[in-house]
Amino acid sequence: MEFLADPQIWISLLTLTALEIVLGIDNIIFISILAGKLPKEKQKKARQTGLGLALITRLLLLAGIAWMAKLTTPLLHIHEFAISGRDLILLGGGLFLIAKSTYEIHEKLEGAGGHAVAPRAVSFAKVIVQIILLDIVFSLDSVITAIGMANQLWIMVTAVIIALGIMLAFAGVISDFVERHPTLKMLALSFLILIGVSLMAEGLHQHISKGYIYFAMAFSCAVEFINLKLRARAAARAA
């Protein structure tokens, strides 16, 4: 147990846990949006199932670190451009995010304008399948970060479990908050399109610094929270 007295171990664990939480926020938002299509009594179960599957996916990927390393091996070449398994997953995941988010935005705007048809019933199984697809994409990004941040498997596993536990505890709060504020949901969907573009760029070997993406998201959230405050004050004055 002497390794527990090593401050580097704790710094690595805390840093990695914080990063896993940050990387998991977009996962929570998308799970919340998908779960919101279900009846109220099934939404909590869908969120818990989705995050539980995310934990299993990440632990399986961590257990297969040797397999993860092979994902960067080129599968085919187009002229001088090499495409690996990781590239295909990122490209597919990015396209899925962009398409799904665009469809959700279209549905919200058309519905608000009175042009949309009555919403179709969504099955629990369909929502879970979509969550699994997203979990694979987000887990890949999360696990690659974990491998780059820590050298010991138990640190990676502990950080992932702690992060998912914290996200599970606050998923309901985040989901309810997003549901109460339609403009925030639209902003969240816009973020997911941004993340989808970033994933596709990574798949095409065009790196976009996550610092730029997180800054843009943080700035947009700050502006939106100011708008929420102003609307709340205006409503209080009107009352």
Q: What is the mean pLDDT of the chain?
A: 78
Torsion angle in degrees (nearest 10) through CA of 9, 11, 14, 19? -110
User: Among 22-31, 112-121, 176-185, 195-204, which range has the highest average pLDDT?
Assistant: 195-204
Q: Where are the domains of the chain?
A: 7-208
DSSP for 38-63 reads S-HHHHHHHHHHHHHHHHHHHHHHHH
Instruction: Calculate mean pLDDT across residues 13-32.
Output: 77
pTM of the model: 0.67
Better pLDDT: 56 or 115:
56
CA distance 71 to 194: 24
In this prediction, residue 116 carries a pLDDT of: 47
Q: Is the pLDDT of residue 192 over 70?
A: yes
Q: Is the dihedral of CA 15, 16, 21, 26 positive or negative?
A: positive
Q: Is the pLDDT of residue 98 over 60?
A: yes
Residue 138 in contact with residue 26, Cβ under 8 Å? Answer: yes
Residues 114-134: tens digit of each pLDDT: 454 445 557 788 888 888 777
Better pLDDT: 112 or 69:
69
Residues 213-236: tens digit of each pLDDT: 878 888 888 898 898 888 888 888
pLDDT band at 111 (very low <50, low <70, confident <90, very high): low
